[in-house]
Amino acid sequence: MTKKETVQFIIHTLEHFYPETPVPLTHKDPYTLLIAVLLSAQCTDERVNKVTPALFLLADNPDDMSKVEVSAIEDIIRPCGLSPRKSKAISTLSSILMEKYDGQVPQTFEDLETLPGVGHKTASVVMAQAFGVPAFPVDTHIHRLAQRWKLTNGKNVEQTEKDLKRLFPKDIWNKLHLQIIFFGREYCPARGHDVVKCPVCKELSGKSEKFSSPTPTKN
């Protein structure tokens, strides 16, 4: 397969398996999404979704959150890991949103990335999923699959993001990054990976003589 053919095959396969891509982190607006994504650093989405209901019951907007004691935030988010750092970031960024942005989450990468605890990946998720701005958030999972599928030889997520943006159409970035995450979890895991059972790796490795539309294993 040429690189162009590989890209089209991946787009076709992921769209077949995951035509719908709901945001895996429970949220109701840009602020609660921002907090959920911040909490997801080195933590599973599933665990974050178990923690955020209690946190957002305590405070679900920057005004209320900025008035909550950092220790109270930390007590709730402890299961997510890195709770001292994350609780301080949540408190401080909430105050900044009130003081500098009238309580609203800013809608530029530059402004988002100035907030405590918000790196480029977090900002990309918020821009893509809260505001619909084309972005390609690359975490370690997407980085791993991109290397496995020979879409990049980048040594870090920054280079992988550049390569993926170059290869895939801009208008599908927001959906595609979620499709890759969902596919990786179900068919292309880091451990126990079976090339023959992975619809993408099987084809790219030449272990499949002919590709036809794959049959989903579940609805």
The residue among 41, 82, 36, 34 whose CA lies nearest residue 55 is 36
Q: How far apart are CA 190 and CA 91, in angstroms?
A: 34
The conformation of residue 131, written as its DSSP 8-state character, comes to: T
The H-or-E segment that residue 145 falls in is: helix 140-148
Residue 192 Cα distances to 12, 159, 218, angstroms? 25, 26, 20
**Residue 171, number of CB atoms within 10 A of its CB:** 9
Residues annotated catalytic, as ranges: 121, 139
Angle at 156 between CA 151 and CA 162, to 5 degrees: 55
Phi-psi region of 217 (alpha: psi -120 to 50; beta: other; left: phi over 0): alpha
